[in-house]
Chain A
Amino acid sequence: MSDVLDGPGVQPDLKVVGTRPIRPDGADKVTGRAAFGADFNMPGQLVGKILRSPHAHAKIVSIDTRKARALPGVKAVVTGADFPNLASEMHEGGEAASNLRDLAMNVIARDKALYDGHAVAAVAATSSAIADEALRLITVTYEVLPHVIDVEAAMSPDAPVLHAHLFTEGLEVRPTSASNVARRNQITRGDLAEGFAAADVIVEGRYTTQAVHQGYIEPHACVAAWVEDGQCDVWSSSQGQFMVRTYCAKILGLEISDIRVTPAEIGGGFGGKTTVYLEPLALALSRQSGHPVKMVMTREEVFRATGPTSGAVILVKLGAKVDGTMTAAEVELKYQAGAFPGSPVGAGSMTALACYDIPNFLITGWDVVTNSPKVAAYRAPGAPIAAFGVESAVDDLARKLGMDPLALRERNGVRNGVKAAYGPTFQNIGYLETLAAIKDCPQYSLPLGPNQGRGVAAGFWFNVGGESTAAVHVNEDGSVVVVTGNPDIGGSRAAMAMMAAETLGVPMQRVRPRIADTASIGFSMLTGGSRTTFATGMAVVQAAEKVVADLKRRAALLWEVPADKVEWRNGAAVCLDPAKADPKPMTLEILAGQSARTGGPISAQVSLNAQGAGPGFGVHVCDVEIDPETGHVTVLRYTAAQDVGKAIHPSYVEGQVQGGVAQGVGWALNEEYIFDSDGRMENAGFLDYRVPVASDLPMIDTILVEVANPRHPFGAKGVGEVPIVPPLAAVANAIRSAIGVRMADLPLSPPKIRAVMDARAS
């Protein structure tokens, strides 16, 4: 089932927006013509490879690269010593802020290796085999240190400390000794004790999740070329060519204008490609060798050295009246950050109670460094983890109160005018409509068989706006090129072309969307935070509106009438001056053909900082069946409803929702980082890191609820992140309903379920 439910504020009479044309990049992708990161090559390029720490935590005593350098065919060897040491400085990237000093030390270790897989040296050679041999010839002397990966163990006072300079921020009193706790944040309202005292029913739970990887199919890849005059070119697959440019400039101490980054097609990112790993190393190797350098990660490297998201411990306590009115909530979140501060616990804290209107609450978040790869953004960073705890507890509360779980959520659900737990006052939100959509969906009332269970869960994500640039060029034949600076990770080319076509009044097929390098379009923040259709889309629409205004002016010039006597209708200028004897409308084509006579090329560029992104809500229902003898869980049915504002291209919005659910189900059932007792990752490959395969999932039904965002020209809200927030708890709640036992430690893999079945039987 796939439904689009038009709600308040949606514009009628749209011709292109809301339809389902074939995507402009579709043929390239199905024919294999699309050029991804590893598809780019330059004449004379070298192969770059990385030597990685085999230890989870070790002092780097010395690195001897002499033998490697002496090997014929080796053209460059770099270590941390070849990079400047940066001062601590925060940089806002679009999805999450990064400390540049830490970022640089994550790209290549300096005096310490902080996780298994941390880069310690890199080589460039004339062949892959020589590069491998060179890595074997590098001798690193390590002094192995005790390591810590578990988040609560890392918080303990006797844990090995990763960074001697790290003193917990956000406490009332600044601590006197360094620890692994980077920060504590708190959000509070009302009086917690009073709130719990007023409750008739209280539920409490402790929940855990493991680190999980975004699992994008395309490994990181780039080619970098450093020319003698200091000009650099980088071709790479990322979520933002401008992000790559900024980070490379900072890490290598270069002028931004000396670097040009050309984005490759991207084979998945999900937040994981919002930072750099290879590009600065490839540039340094190219500088030293004088040749272009190509680097491509293996899958093992992707798992060991690129960002997963946090493993976490979540504590939740909820209080409610017998009628279901929630009186108090206490949430504590402890998130692994990996080797450097910056877990998504801040966003986890802000989203934890965002679906609920509760008078008294306290949310405490802990950002904790651990000897594991530095976490990177992963779709609604931090929110699925917090929602797993809160939505499991809400499910238990509903059970204890004997209430329908949707009714309990509706009773306490946020609506317009309510002050969100994280601060602002909600406007134009569609949470209640989304709850109602699930209540009314066929799945919610289907009867269940033996060993089957049903769970629901809700989820929230802010969505962001931010800085974007778009240019619209009308060609002399009336065709249109739309240029933006945002890699297309979720169908945004289609959305950009459709919004431009709608505004110009031409068919979408006449509009060709292009994604430009950093020298060919103005700055844009990366594709992340569900911002592109909203923010870059807004720039596209404004640029197209400028073009329309210009076209009207040109038509007025040709007709010799005042500009206000021209209107733009269905892709053509219409003359409103009754004195003119029947002038035929002048189409875009006609005006484009005469542009030289009316002022030259027709083109407009808009750069903006988009404000007013609309937050999104999702409500999911999941049906499972358990094999009681093996503990295997089959997801039988799944329906996801989401407030999407306005779906510009409904099929691609549905695709986003289904993709988020698929990843969330994997997170719930089987995905996890497994470390051995030395802190080495044991399952750095898709065989033992189990993302769901197609046959693991049923058809994921979607319901798009459209409550328009008035701040966007067509009402769009971000859609890509919300759908990964509810599934963890939706699956866990379904299993709870099937087996009668609350399972609180992800992943809910067969051995754990079988153990619960055995305990229940005895």
Chain B
Amino acid sequence: MAQLDYLAPLKVEDAVKALAATGSYALAGGTDLLVQLRSGRIRPDTIVDLKRIAGTIGIREEAGGFVIGAATPGAMIGEHEALSRAWPGLVEAVSLIGSTQVQGRASLAGNLCNASPAADSVPAMIAARAVCVVVGPAGRREVPVEAIGTAPGRTSLAPGEFVLEIRLPPRPARSSDAYLRLIPRTEMDIAVVGAGVNLTLDAAGVVIEAQVALGAVAPTALLVPDAGAALVGSKLDEASLAALDTAARAACHPISDKRGTAEYRTKIAGVLARRAAFIAYERAGARA
């Protein structure tokens, strides 16, 4: 008969060792892992709970940016005032995950490492230029968020590696972000398309930096440099928004499935990118 071991190491090294074995899975909030375990989609030999390792839960400010522990639950992120002021788009993306109950557990790293192309926080993290601190048998490395997911359910993490924390860069003035997703219902649903936009304006309200990331329109969440470039130098006039819409759609290569056709997803990517850009712009202007 199959046996399932549960480990809750206190030290990074012990977790790394345990995770190096085949059949070992990292556990953060478990809101993906336990569902997959119950449905029989995965049959782990060992579950390695990361939540007792120092630094995996909590939010701190460091060198002008924020460091978020990999297993920090959504509810803590949503309640963090300074983080919400600096990164309202990222925080709204995290807060969209599941329900109040799920928010008590669901984490950024879990959302990222589950490697669903539709994960809500991932486009927002990518647009924010967030970086993962990855630890493993070969030591510690820093990896941009968009380099973690490689395909649905697959990551670039080597055996024994896990995400320890997620770092957000320092925030200049007149910067803000926004995240929007389309779901057929109003909550408790999975994104048919997600769009994160992160902007910095100059004193005159002209966009000087823009990052656009899309979810659920390709095997992994995408950073779309052309879409960001379409906004730089503009005040979000009609022409730049139309260019954004076109660039966003051009980047999409979605599948048609039960959650939406490729054609629909592509159109909506343009719509949401425009709408998110508009919200980010308003927010950035207000942070003069």
Contacts and interface: CB of A to CB of B under 8 A. Distances in A.
A693 B185 CA distance: 7
A69 B180 CA distance: 53
A630 interface: yes
A133 B2 contact: yes
B238 to A, nearest CB: 15
B190 A687 contact: yes
A439 interface: no
A690 interface: yes
A751 B261 contact: yes
B39 interface: yes
A300 B271 CA distance: 34
A33 B251 CA distance: 54
B258 A749 contact: no
Interface string B36-70: 00011000000000000000000000000000000
B235 interface: no
Grouping DSSP codes into helix (H, G, I), strand (E, B) and loop, the B interface class, with mixed when no group exceeds half, is: loop
Given A750-B182, A754-B264, A630 B271 contact: yes
B79 interface: no
A312 B40 CA distance: 34
Interface string A617-634: 000000000000111100
B184 A692 contact: no
Contact of B184 (A632, A695, A755): A632
Nearest to B275: A629
Nearest to A747: B184
A632 B261 CA distance: 15
Contacts of A687: 189-190
Interface in B210-224: none
Nearest to B261: A751
Most buried by B among A130, A631, A692: A631
Contacts, number: 52
A749 B185 contact: no
A690 B2 contact: no
A682 B39 CA distance: 14
Given A630-B268, A751-B264, A754-B264, A690 B184 contact: yes
Contacts of A64: none
Interface string A572-608: 0000000000000000000000000000000000000
Interface in B161-194: 182, 184-190, 192
Nearest to A634: B186
B264 A133 contact: no
A133 to B, nearest CB: 6
B138 interface: no
Contacts of B260: 751
A132 B37 CA distance: 13
A228 B192 CA distance: 56
Contact of A695 (B40, B187, B258): B187
Contacts of B267: 754, 758
Contacts of A683: 258
Nearest to A674: B258
Contacts of B259: 688
Interface in B1-52: 1-2, 39-40
A300 B185 contact: no
Interface in B233-265: 258-261, 264
Contacts of B188: 693
Given A300-B39, A629-B271, A630-B271, A695 B182 contact: no
A758 B271 CA distance: 13
A428 interface: no
A690 B261 contact: no
Nearest to A71: B1
Contacts of B1: 129-130, 133
Contacts of A755: 264
Given A695-B187, A755-B264, A630 B258 contact: no
A47 to B, nearest CB: 14
B112 to A, nearest CB: 19
A696 interface: yes
A692 B185 contact: yes
A257 B76 CA distance: 59
Given A693-B187, A693-B188, A632 B258 contact: no
A85 interface: no
A194 to B, nearest CB: 46
Nearest to B267: A754
Contacts of B192: 750
Contacts of B185: 670, 690, 692-693, 695-696
Nearest to A300: B39
Contacts of B186: 693, 695-696
A670 B192 CA distance: 14
Nearest to A299: B39
A669 to B, nearest CB: 8
Interface in A675-713: 682-683, 687-688, 690, 692-693, 695-696
Nearest to A758: B267
A682 B258 contact: yes
A58 B1 CA distance: 31
B182 A632 contact: yes
A669 B271 CA distance: 21
Nearest to A750: B184
Contact of A630 (B40, B182, B189, B261): B182
Contacts of B189: 687, 690
Most buried by A among B187, B190, B264: B264
Nearest to B272: A630
Contacts of A693: 185-188
Interface string A629-646: 111100000000000000
Contact of B258 (A129, A133, A631, A688): A688
A132 B4 CA distance: 15
A602 B1 CA distance: 60
Interface in A734-762: 749-751, 754-755, 758
Contacts of B184: 632, 669-670, 690, 749-750
B2 A129 contact: yes
A129 B39 CA distance: 13
B275 to A, nearest CB: 8
Contacts of B190: 687-688
A211 to B, nearest CB: 14
Contacts of A674: 258
Contacts of A754: 264, 267-268
A687 B187 CA distance: 11
Interface in A647-670: 669-670
A318 B277 CA distance: 49
Nearest to A629: B271
Contacts of A669: 184
Most buried by B among A133, A682, A683, A751: A751
Contacts of A630: 182, 268, 271
Contacts of A688: 190, 258-259
Give the residue among B1, B40, B261 with the most A Cβ atoms within 10 A: B1
Nearest to A129: B1
A695 B186 CA distance: 6
Contacts of B261: 751
A682 B40 CA distance: 16
B18 to A, nearest CB: 22
Nearest to A670: B184
Contacts of A670: 184-185
A-B pairs with lowest CB-CB distance, top 9: A751-B264, A695-B186, A629-B271, A674-B258, A682-B258, A670-B184, A696-B186, A696-B185, A693-B188
Given A129-B1, A687-B190, A750-B264, 6 more contacts: A629-B268, A629-B271, A670-B185, A687-B189, A749-B184, A754-B268
23 contacts: A129-B1, A133-B1, A133-B2, A300-B39, A630-B182, A630-B271, A631-B264, A632-B182, A670-B185, A682-B258, A687-B189, A687-B190, A688-B190, A690-B184, A693-B185, A693-B186, A693-B187, A693-B188, A695-B185, A696-B185, A749-B184, A751-B261, A755-B264
Interface of B: 1-2, 39-40, 182, 184-190, 192, 258-261, 264, 267-268, 271
